[in-house]
């Protein structure tokens, strides 16, 4: 930012991560989460306010930034979500057979395995579910610093046999092979997301979504219309919702098409690229106009001095 200002290059910043959120503070091992959270808000605010333009990925995040003293002219532009219309080479049955998740009720999570993703809630819900029905399976796609903790917790709860770790998968592979089809439902319980790209990708791949009504998710999901909300931190809320949806598949299916249409219309790459192009063009034009105006002012001042 400093170098760009020195070189007089236009700058655009995006607010991508709630580093101020207590879950993020704990995830990176910082002490005094309240104090550190306030400090991160302070630095984020300075960085954002120095830029020529600032972007928030959802309206709810923009409102949050304004409430914390950020600039008033923040634009709302999604990051966009990748998808492909090209049919995958494998059928869903073949894909599930390849990863040995056939004949089970599959609960899918794709993302970084870290504290702030609140994967513990999924595991605690799984523990409640398998007590009544052993056909549930938790599928975790990704890697991260919290993986060892998750494995140890699953072992303590005797849930390793109900869980499949697929490890890190290239994003292009996830999209092109539509690995979201591994899940009958996609679940994420993170409370600190500015947007939630995996939620949008699930919608675009026509896999129903369950998440918590926190931060950016509240802008993406309309409860029981484009997805389902469960109480944050509550294994009971999640397990009861999953049990109901798997025993009432029509309720699960009815959100798929509305969610797909919403994500395609509002968050597809094509839509987002056009919005960014418009903002970039306007930013460059404003910078050029400002430079020309300053040049004219210098000429006037010089003439007046003469």
Q: The whole model's pTM is what?
A: 0.88
Q: How far apart are CA 49 and CA 42, in angstroms?
A: 11
Name the residue among 230, 222, 177, 174 with its Cα closest to residue 198.
174
pLDDT tens digits, one per residue of 7-19: 888 999 999 888 7
pLDDT tens for residues 186-242? 999 999 899 999 999 999 999 999 999 998 999 999 999 999 999 999 999 999 999
Phi, psi of 107 (to 5 degrees): -105, 115
Q: How far is residue 297 CA from its own chain's centroid? A: 46
Statement: residue 273 has pLDDT above 60: yes
Give the whole-angstrom CA distance, residue 246 versus residue 266: 29
- Measured over the CA atoms of residue 268, residue 274, residue 277 and residue 282, the dihedral's sign is negative
For residue range 64-91, list pLDDT tens digits in order: 999 999 998 999 999 999 888 888 889 9
Round to whole Å and give the CA distance between 256 and 203.
7
What homologous superfamily does CATH list for 92-266? Answer: Glycogen Phosphorylase B; (3.40.50.2000)
Domain boundaries, the chain: 2-80+269-295, 92-266
Q: How confident is the model at residue 302 (pLDDT cuts 50, 70, 90)?
A: very low
Share above pLDDT 90 across residues of the chain, in percent, rounded to a whole number = 71
Question: Nearest-5° angle of CA 269, CA 262, CA 105?
Answer: 100
Is the CB of residue 90 less than 8 Å from the CB of residue 98? yes
* Cα 132 to the center of its chain, rounded Å: 32
Q: What pairing do the DSSP bridges indicate for beta strands 209-211 and 105-110?
A: unpaired
Find the helix or strand (DSSP H, E) in which 258 lies: helix 256-267
């Amino acid at each position: 930012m400093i170098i760009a200002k020195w070189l007089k290059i236009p700058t655009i910043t995006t607010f991508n991560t709630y580093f101020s959120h207590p879950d993020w503070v704990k995830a990176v091992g910082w002490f005094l989460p309240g104090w550190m959270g306030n400090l991160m808000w302070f630095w984020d605010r300075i960085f954002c306010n120095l830029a020529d333009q600032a972007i928030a990925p959802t309206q709810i995040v923009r409102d949050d930034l304004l409430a914390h003293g950020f600039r008033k002219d923040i634009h709302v532009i999604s990051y966009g979500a990748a998808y492909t219309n090209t049919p995958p080479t494998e059928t869903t049955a073949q894909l599930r057979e390849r990863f040995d998740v056939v004949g089970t009720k599959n609960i899918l999570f794709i993302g970084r395995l870290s504290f702030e993703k609140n994967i513990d809630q999924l595991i605690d819900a799984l523990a409640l579910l398998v007590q009544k029905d052993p056909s549930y399976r938790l599928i975790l796609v990704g890697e991260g610093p919290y993986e060892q903790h998750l494995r140890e917790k699953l072992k303590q709860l005797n849930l390793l046999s109900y869980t499949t770790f697929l490890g890190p998968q290239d994003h292009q592979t996830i999209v092109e092979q539509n690995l979201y089809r591994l899940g009958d439902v996609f679940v994420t319980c993170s409370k600190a997301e500015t947007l939630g790209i995996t939620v949008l990708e699930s919608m675009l791949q026509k896999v129903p979504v369950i998440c918590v009504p926190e931060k950016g998710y509240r802008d993406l999901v309309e409860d029981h219309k484009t997805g389902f909300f469960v109480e944050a931190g509550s294994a009971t809320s999640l397990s009861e919702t999953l049990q109901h949806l798997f025993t009432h598949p029509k309720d699960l299916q009815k959100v798929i098409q509305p969610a797909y249409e919403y994500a395609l219309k509002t968050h597809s790459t094509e839509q987002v690229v056009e919005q960014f192009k418009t903002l970039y063009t306007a930013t460059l034009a404003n910078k050029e106009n400002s430079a020309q105006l300053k040049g004219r002012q210098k000429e006037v001042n010089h003439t007046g001095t003469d």
